[in-house]
Amino acid sequence: MANARNGNTYYIDTQFATNEELVVKNMKVTHIVVTSTAAGGKIVLADSSVATKIDLRVAADEDSVLFDFSANPLVFSTSIRPLTLSGAVVTCVLSGSGG
């Protein structure tokens, strides 16, 4: 498949190689759901201007974990770039001024 934006969500199943990123200025992320497809699922998200913004992991196979940033959303100034994705799929819930 491919990474895809659908309304207020951004589904990630492919790590960054050339254009697998959501390029929108000042995008806010309020929640991230990481579902492991193998033990030790991992996602590292970056902004194209910052090498690593956040590193999230899920230990058990076929587990889903909700990371709640609604009280203090993550702001990606230029893009949401999945630098590393291994053994997981991810859904980011978007909010804010990003178009």
Contact 35, 41 (CB under 8 A): yes
Tens of pLDDT, residue by residue over 61-89, are 889 999 999 999 999 999 999 999 999 99
Q: Smallest Cα–Cα separation from 52: which of 82, 17, 72?
A: 82
> At 73, which CATH number?
2.60.120
Domain total for the chain? 1
* Full domain range(s) for residue 71: 4-95
Position 51 confidence tier, pLDDT thresholds 50, 70, 90? confident
Q: Taking the model in full, what pTM does it have?
A: 0.92
For the chain, the C-alpha Rg in angstroms (whole number) is 12
Query: For 63, what's the count of Cα atoms within 13 Å in the CB-facing half-sphere?
Result: 12
